[in-house]
Amino acid sequence: MKLPLIAMYITFSVFAMTNVCSTIFLSVYVWKQQESFFMISAFYFFTFLFVFIGVMVGAFFMFWFGSRWTFLCSSFTALGMYLFFWTEGELSLQAVALAGILNGLFIGLFYAGFNFYSLWFASQERLSNVLSLQYIINGVMQIVVPPIIGWIIFVYSYHVFFVTALLILLVQACCSSLIPQVRIRFPFRRKEFFIPLEEGMKGLGFSSAAYGFFLSFIHMSLGVFVYLYVQNEWALGGWNMLFACISVFTYYMLGRTFLKPFGDVLGMIGVIISTAATLTLFFHVPVTYIVFNTVISASLPMLWVPAFTQHFHHIFALGKASSANTLTKVMQLLVFREFSICIGKLSFIALLLFQILYFSPSLSLIVFFLCFMPVAIYVLGHKDKGLMS
């Protein structure tokens, strides 16, 4: 593995620790303020929206200042967010919206640089291995961090957790300052952040939107829904450790055995298992969220790694073939992909609020649409396969 990727993955390891905390425990902290689906939906809405805005801003940072600033600003934004949580008492709706904005920028700015580095410095033949490594590192942090943070919150308080997160973020900021600098020298065509001109990107966009919709529910399930079943953060951390162990094993096996001829087979198996797991959610029993997360921890990697790898292969090929500057084109397409994921995530939040406000707190309508997402991820990702190959 090339030296820039090694430096990048060291920084990513530290980032993953804080990101795990944000995904699981911040959502529970927000939920416990008023135990309101409206409040938690507002937090997720602004988080998802500003992840995309963060990716777009990160692209311009790479043009104006260089890639290192996307990582540094990500760290500084998260430092501001946890300082805000540390100093605030009970959160108002406006405070929750601000926290969601800062959380989204923290994630989006980081991934703007990280996805670019992963794509640019990895050879095309090793791309699936590099992407699997990304998920394995993230999974290892999901194994180690949740039980420790859950114990800290359970025994001490959320304020001690916030101080712990601030210390981790200081380490992330130091690591970010050592990342090799890359600067995009040619300006972007801003319209192509939203409407790319290249053939084959339509299927990629719809596939990414379906993934965004599905992933939004998984994020909420790993945090709030499992918490509603176990009722304490230490047990929540323990269950998330189990889910992560299953994911890491799956990603490890994919990284070792993922061969191009088997990508379609793995994808179809992932579709079948993910859909079956989603159907269990029609049984309105809290334990079904444990069953869902356990099964989906194995099936989602089988579905998403082949699709994700194909997306990156296609973006890489379009960047190389473009008459425009390659770095600029690759970054434009990565921003479009993140825009598509954002549309899927915001669609989930809109549907969730619609059901809660006009129907009932039951999630039957959400689950109905979720059942179609694994098929959509697979089929739409292969819609333009002939163009991608």
Q: In degrees to the nearest 10, what's the CA dihedral of 237, 238, 243, 249?
A: 120
* 128: in domain: yes
Instruction: Report yes or no on 162 lying in a domain.
Output: yes
CB burial class (10 A; 0-12, 13-18, 19+) of residue 184?
buried
312 inside domain: yes
Tell me which residue of 137, 138, 8 sits closest to 67, measured CA to CA: 8
Residue 150 pLDDT level (bands cut at 50, 70, 90): very high
Contact 298, 250 (CB under 8 A): yes
Mean pLDDT confidence for 29-57: 88
313 in a structural domain: yes
Tell me how crowded residue 257 is: count the other CB atoms within 10 A of its CB.
9
Q: Which of 146, 157, 118, 152 is nearest to 238 (CA)?
A: 146
Domain of 138? 3-182+194-388
Q: What is the pLDDT of residues 313-333, one digit of tens each?
A: 777 777 777 666 677 777 778
pLDDT given at position 55: 85
Longest CA–CA separation in the chain, Å: 59
**Would you place residue 387 in the very low, low, confident or very high pLDDT band (cuts 50, 70, 90)?**
very low
Considering only residues 105 and 267, tell me which one the structure prediction assigns the higher pLDDT: 105
Is residue 188 assigned to a domain?
no
What is the predicted pLDDT for the residue at 259? 45
pLDDT of 124 higher than 60: no
Residue 388 is predicted with a pLDDT of 41
At 39, the amino acid letter reads M
Average pLDDT over residues 80-108: 88
pLDDT at 120: 63
Q: What is the pLDDT of residues 297-313, one digit of tens each?
A: 888 888 777 777 777 77
For residue 194, pLDDT beyond 90: no
DSSP 206-221: HHHHHHHHHHHHHHHI
Task: Kindly state the average pLDDT of the residues 53-66.
Answer: 81
Using a 10 angstrom Cβ sphere, with 0-12 exposed, 13-18 middle and 19 or more buried, the burial of residue 139 is buried
68 domain-assigned: yes
Q: How many helices (H) and strands (E) does the chain have?
A: 16, 0
At 275-300, the pLDDT tens digits run 999 998 888 787 888 999 999 988 88
In a domain, 189, yes or no: no
Q: Is residue 187 part of a domain?
A: no
Please report the sign of the dihedral spanned by the C-alpha atoms of residue 24, residue 224, residue 378, residue 327.
negative
Lowest mean pLDDT of 71-75, 163-167, 201-205, name the range: 201-205
What's residue 386's pLDDT? Answer: 44
Give one DSSP letter per residue of 134-148, joined into a string: HHHHHHHHHHHHHHH
Number of domains comprising the chain: 1
Q: How many other C-beta atoms can be found within 10 angstroms of the C-beta atom of residue 83?
A: 15
- How many beta carbons lie within 10 A of that of residue 229, not counting itself? 15
pLDDT tens-digit map of 342-383 = 899 999 999 888 887 777 666 788 889 999 998 888 887 665
| CATH number reported for the structural domain that contains residue 275 in this entry | 1.20.1250.20
Reference 348, options 37, 45, 62; nearest CA is 45
The reported pLDDT for the residue numbered 389 is: 39
